[in-house]
Chains A and B, each alone.
Chain A
Amino acid sequence: MKRRKFDAAALPAKSARAVDDRFQVATPLRKLLNKVFPDHWSFLLGEIALFSFVVLLLTGVFLTFFFEPAMTEVIYNGSYAPLRGTPMSAAYASSLDISFDVRGGLIMRQMHHWSALLFMAAIVVHMLRVFFTGAFRKPRETNWIIGSLLFWVGFLAGFTGYSLPDDGLSGTGLRIASAIILSIPVIGSWVSSSIFGGEFPGTIIISRFFIAHVLLIPGLLVALISVHLGLVFKQKHTQWPGPGRTNSNVVGERMFPRYALKQGGFFMVVFGVIALMGGLFQINPIWLFGPYEAWVVSAASQPDWYVMFLDGSTRLMPGWEISIPIGDGYVIPPLFWPTVVLPGILVGLSTMYPFLEARRLKDYKHHNLLQRPRDVPARTAVGAMAVTFYIVLTLSGANDVIADKFQISLNAMTWAGRIGLLILPPIAYYVTYRLCLGLQQHDREVLAHGVETGIIKRLPDGRFVEVHQPLTSADGHDGHPPALDYVGWVVPKKMNRLGALGPAIRGFFYPIEKPAEAPVSPGHPPVEARPEREEIGSGESRR
């Protein structure tokens, strides 16, 4: 019986057959392996958010093993001598222990904090990419809404996490949060006392924030991220216009192996950068802030960067109180407008934007091709306006530091912020709009007349003209080459882009390859329309 002999070479095939017999995975797996993804550097911004979220989960689980979410008063007796003997909450003491008495705890804490900041930053930058290229248009409105919700849920995750160590700075943040809740008309004091279990600070808020931070909010984030990715997968990624790219196809690479390898490598790079930051750059040194005490705060207390715009709006808001003289009298505190109403408007406007734009343009078609920002001046200008608004608020969140470092009056900084918040966004709108039109016009000029060569020619009659290199060799009707149509993609504007200088020869000390042929289009291999089947040979260039 030779069959009993073990054949190692046949093992993979055999087990694969066994799996497929039971689960019928061959066809779906082939579809997955073959799925085509378009490639562009800007498509990787969202990945950074995803990867830092993975790092957040990994480091966060580690931290839960050592953190004690309790406000019980203890006397610190750990190895950080300056605080020894200080009464503090168990939460703060265990955060100090993570930093000083758990081996490698500090780098985990710092990596957790840095990846949280990176997560939020990547979300914002990714959102800008999606906005300015029109990737949110039908059929992707749902994913845009989920994305903007991810920002706000991430914001909550960040705030609850920031509050957990119960240090001097985070306690002050909590105090402000309670004041914000208190400012809500009619129900404010009820909501605040329900959340804090009585008057601020109470004794239960840290344990409540803990369960929100480690279970409820991450659960919500995981759910939203899963749907977000699932929809990207189902609806297929958008792509830039270009040769052979249409609204109804995807031009790119199959997911495996090259695309997947690049993703895996990129994850490791993001992870590595977070590790470097967590090790080298100190963040939130809670041992310097001391335990939270209601009467202690120092200048330059700033929140994490993604909260600064709300801090800024709070600083800029004038003290306008609305009194309602009924009965004993009621008030709507000024704090209500910049911290409750403003975020409410921002959430509403940002989530509804795809529908607002579709309605204004009466555009209800499917869009799978991206737009260059210059081609949609109105949207780009609105985006620039929003970004300016945000930047003024964020800078105002640090206006005391700016005033201090640059020796400017603090009050002048506040007034600059108040005025800037009103007049800079419209200016940004106008300037951006004009810039877009100018860029559009220049694209058309190059398409009509060719690229400037920098070569000046003197005509027989004495005039000087610059020689232009036309982008096409075809002949037009009057001796000039015909004007090319703009197709929504980069127009080469420099002779180098046309291969005038030839590419540099690669290699450090000696050339490692022959000088390549001049590329035909900037940075992209030539792509032709989908050919007939028979024309394809294996492993060969079609050129």
Chain B
Amino acid sequence: MSTHTEHQAQQGPEPLDVNDPRLSRFDVVQEGARRDDIEIVHYEPQVAPGSKAERRLTRTVALMFLLTGAFATAFLVVYIWWPWQWEPGAGGDKLYTPLLGVTLGLALLGVGFGILTWGKKLLPKEVSIQDRHDQVDNPEDRKITGETMLYLADEMGVRRRPLLGISLLAGLAPVGAVAAAPLIGGLIEQPHKNNQMFTTGFHPAEGGRKIRLIREDGRPIRPADVSVGGQLTVFPGIDGGVSNLHADSPTLLIHLREDDAQKSRAANERKGHGDYMWGNYVAYSKICTHAGCPASLYEQQTNRLLCPCHQSQFLITDNAKPIFGPANRPLPQLPIEVDEEGFFVAKSDYTETIGPDFWERP
């Protein structure tokens, strides 16, 4: 079918003379469409010119445009004069953004629906048919272009003078590497600098001074500060210990009830961590071994610690072993004791790797 119309379009009855004064403008439009292989097969005004329906639709569209103007003005009025600075309580400033949204939204909807109505209801309906021409139009052209490209290669003499191509490739390859080098070289960062992936802020300072456990506000902690069954997030008592600089250091200090503490101690012994607890106190890393979120929801009755990101659950009385969810590794335990001044300190750094797993974690 496609070739047939092609034939017709090129050699059929000769094209209309568009300069013929007897032609209407639509005739010219239609002739133009024909020259693009488009046939307008159905063209029908939706409303008769001057009809009641037309006037009604015109009024509707005009009303929408005018509403747009009104709402846009309202937007400006609100923007300029409405109190917008944040105040405590439920003041008028809380309405500032909603009012902007309503006025702007309605203004845009007005112009949008106005244009849509104009296009959909007032303009003539039409059905046009255009040929796709998505088959190969002319196999000869394909052949010619192919030959031309092959001839290009011939002219360059790639076949006859292979040395040129090889030497060019050999010359350009390092240039590519030159482009990549500063990017990769600048970005690349040794992950094990200062053994950072295996140490935390609790690593004893120079001279073996043990690091204190502190609260968020920086105060050290006495055993009496944590009530039975209670828990407290603690940090290393060093510079920047309570900051994201030591994002792997936050630790949960838990004061277990007597029977839970016994269970926990027994579990510790089984693992060879016999001296990690101090009294009935245990300290476990708060950084989930799954994806690094803080495992911060402690269920006192069951002694489970839940990570709210992916719901890994750790049983504190059993070396914080994962008992449900996607985590595969227990939370590392911080060995703790109380120093001569009566404050909690870390006996040593964590003995296992903190946070999410990675390839070279032993």
Interface residues of A (CB under 8 A from B): 30-31, 34-36, 73, 79-81, 100, 103-104, 106-107, 110, 139, 171-172, 175-176, 178-180, 182-190, 192-201, 235-236, 244, 246-254, 257-259, 261-262, 264-280, 292-301, 311, 314-321, 328-335, 338, 366, 368, 399-400, 410-411, 414, 512-513, 525-528, 530-531, 533, 536, 538-542
Do A176 and B293 touch across chains, with their CB atoms under 8 A apart? Answer: yes
A-B CB proximity, top 10 nearest: A279-B101, A268-B112, A272-B108, A261-B119, A276-B105, A265-B115, A333-B357, A295-B250, A265-B116, A319-B328
Q: List, in ascending order, chain A residues with CB within 8 A of B30's CB.
A: 536, 538
Do B101 and A107 touch across chains, with their CB atoms under 8 A apart? Answer: yes
Cβ contact of A251, chosen from B5, B56, B129, cutoff 8 A: B129
Given A103-B79, A276-B101, A182 contacting B356 (CB threshold 8 A): yes
Could you list 14 examples of A-B contacts with CB < 8 Å? A36-B129, A100-B85, A106-B96, A179-B356, A184-B359, A187-B359, A247-B132, A262-B115, A269-B112, A279-B98, A294-B247, A299-B297, A328-B362, A329-B362
B266 at the interface (CB under 8 A from A): no
User: What band does the interface of chain B fall in when counting residues whose beta carbon is under 8 Å from A?
Assistant: 35 or more
A272–B71 Cα distance when bound, in Å, is 12
Do A335 and B188 touch across chains, with their CB atoms under 8 A apart? Answer: no
A273–B33 Cα distance when bound, in Å, is 36
Which of B161-169, B273-281, B283-291, B343-351 faces chain A? Answer: B283-291
B175 at the interface (CB under 8 A from A): no
Do A297 and B293 touch across chains, with their CB atoms under 8 A apart? Answer: yes
A183–B329 Cα distance when bound, in Å, is 14
B99 at the interface (CB under 8 A from A): yes
Do A539 and B97 touch across chains, with their CB atoms under 8 A apart? Answer: no
Given A279-B99, A328-B362, A300 contacting B308 (CB threshold 8 A): yes
Given A100-B86, A272-B112, A540 contacting B36 (CB threshold 8 A): no
Cβ contact of B26, chosen from A100, A513, A538, cutoff 8 A: A538
Chain B: minimal CB distance from A198 (Å): 6
Which of B189-197, B217-225, B331-339 faces chain A? Answer: B189-197
Do B296 and A295 touch across chains, with their CB atoms under 8 A apart? Answer: yes
Known: A275-B105, A276-B101, A297-B296. 20 other contacts (CB 8 A): A36-B128, A100-B85, A103-B79, A182-B356, A247-B132, A248-B134, A258-B124, A258-B126, A265-B118, A268-B112, A269-B109, A272-B106, A272-B110, A314-B291, A317-B326, A321-B329, A329-B362, A332-B359, A333-B328, A542-B42
Binary per-residue interface labels of chain B (16-45) against chain A in the complex, 1 for a CB within 8 Å, 0 otherwise: 000000001011001011111011111111
A411–B322 Cα distance when bound, in Å, is 13
Do A30 and B32 touch across chains, with their CB atoms under 8 A apart? Answer: yes
Given A190-B188, A292-B244, A297-B296, A533 contacting B356 (CB threshold 8 A): no
A268–B119 Cα distance when bound, in Å, is 14
Given A264-B115, A272-B109, A201 contacting B247 (CB threshold 8 A): yes
Do B32 and A34 touch across chains, with their CB atoms under 8 A apart? Answer: yes
A249–B135 Cα distance when bound, in Å, is 11
Do B355 and A179 touch across chains, with their CB atoms under 8 A apart? Answer: yes
Q: List, in ascending order, chain B residues with CB within 8 A of A266's CB.
A: 112, 116
Q: List, in ascending order, chain B residues with CB within 8 A of A251's CB.
A: 127-129
Q: List, in ascending order, chain B residues with CB within 8 A of A295's CB.
A: 233, 235, 250, 286, 294, 296
A176–B307 Cα distance when bound, in Å, is 12
Complex interface residues of chain B between 1 and 16 (CB less than 8 A to chain A): 1-2, 5, 12-13
Do A311 and B310 touch across chains, with their CB atoms under 8 A apart? Answer: yes
Do B358 and A315 touch across chains, with their CB atoms under 8 A apart? Answer: no
- By beta carbon, the residue of chain A nearest B233 is A295
Chain B: minimal CB distance from A13 (Å): 14
- By beta carbon, the residue of chain B nearest A172 is B293
Q: List, in ascending order, chain A residues with CB within 8 A of B24's CB.
A: 538
Binary per-residue interface labels of chain B (118-141) against chain A in the complex, 1 for a CB within 8 Å, 0 otherwise: 111001111111111011000000
Q: List, in ascending order, chain B residues with CB within 8 A of A526's CB.
A: 42
Do A248 and B1 touch across chains, with their CB atoms under 8 A apart? Answer: yes
Do A331 and B359 touch across chains, with their CB atoms under 8 A apart? Answer: yes
Do A107 and B100 touch across chains, with their CB atoms under 8 A apart? Answer: yes
Counting chain A CB atoms within 10 Å of each CB, the highest count among B84, B233, B311 belongs to B311
Q: List, in ascending order, chain B residues with CB within 8 A of A300's CB.
A: 308
Do B42 and A541 touch across chains, with their CB atoms under 8 A apart? Answer: yes
Chain B: minimal CB distance from A268 (Å): 3
Given A183-B357, A331-B359, A368-B134, A280 contacting B101 (CB threshold 8 A): yes
Do B134 and A366 touch across chains, with their CB atoms under 8 A apart? Answer: yes
Do B43 and A540 touch across chains, with their CB atoms under 8 A apart? Answer: yes
Do B132 and A175 touch across chains, with their CB atoms under 8 A apart? Answer: no
Do A253 and B126 touch across chains, with their CB atoms under 8 A apart? Answer: yes
Given A139-B134, A280-B101, A103 contacting B360 (CB threshold 8 A): no
Q: List, in ascending order, chain B residues with CB within 8 A of A30's CB.
A: 32, 35-36
A186–B361 Cα distance when bound, in Å, is 11
A293–B196 Cα distance when bound, in Å, is 19
Do A301 and B309 touch across chains, with their CB atoms under 8 A apart? Answer: yes
Binary per-residue interface labels of chain B (294-334) against chain A in the complex, 1 for a CB within 8 Å, 0 otherwise: 10110000000000111110000000001011111100000
Do B13 and A533 touch across chains, with their CB atoms under 8 A apart? Answer: yes
Q: List, in ascending order, chain B residues with CB within 8 A of A273's CB.
A: 105, 109
Do A198 and B189 touch across chains, with their CB atoms under 8 A apart? Answer: yes
Chain A: minimal CB distance from B21 (Å): 16
Q: List, in ascending order, chain A residues with CB within 8 A of B248's CB.
A: 199-200, 294
Binary per-residue interface labels of chain B (232-257) against chain A in the complex, 1 for a CB within 8 Å, 0 otherwise: 01010000000110111010000000
Q: List, in ascending order, chain A residues with CB within 8 A of B326's CB.
A: 314-319, 334-335, 338
Do B105 and A272 touch across chains, with their CB atoms under 8 A apart? Answer: yes
Do B357 and A335 touch across chains, with their CB atoms under 8 A apart? Answer: yes
Do A297 and B356 touch across chains, with their CB atoms under 8 A apart? Answer: no
Cβ contact of B108, chosen from A269, A335, A512, cutoff 8 A: A269
Counting chain A CB atoms within 10 Å of each CB, the highest count among B13, B101, B190, B294 belongs to B101
Cβ contact of A368, chosen from B110, B119, B132, cutoff 8 A: B132
Q: List, in ascending order, chain B residues with CB within 8 A of A107's CB.
A: 97, 100-101, 104
Do A271 and B189 touch across chains, with their CB atoms under 8 A apart? Answer: no
